[in-house]
Amino acid sequence: MLKVINATPNIVTFNNEKESITYEKSGFLATVEVSERIGPEIMGMPTVSLIFTDVKGLPSVKSGVFYIVSEKVKASSMRSDLIAPNNAISNDKGQLLVTSWIY
């Protein structure tokens, strides 16, 4: 049986036509280190490039376990056990409402 653990700072609720599942915060947070590289000025305005490097805060890979993470964390990692909310909508309580995942 598969298990999904929420490693984001938000409560995440997945809804589709069959079910609604709420994933509470797990108590740990997956993050990614970001550095900036100064870019060219465009019409007198400075620019920067963001460089995403090390993912932090995740436990080791476990068979049958997926972790909900942010899109930035997902894009910065080669791990196959990460999913991110796709087109999430935030409600007035700060919860993310999701109908599909980025895998």
Q: In what order do the strands lie in the sheet with 100-102?
A: 3-6, 65-68, 82-86, 100-102
Instruction: Give pLDDT, residue 6.
Output: 98
pTM for this prediction? 0.86
When pLDDT is averaged across residues 89-95 and rounded to a whole number, the result is 91
At residue 94 the predicted structure's pLDDT band, cuts being 50, 70 and 90, is confident
- Could you give the CA distance from residue 46 to residue 38 in angstroms, rounded to a whole number? 8
C-beta atoms surrounding 55 within 10 Å: 20
What are 72-90's pLDDT values in tens digits? 999 999 999 999 999 999 9
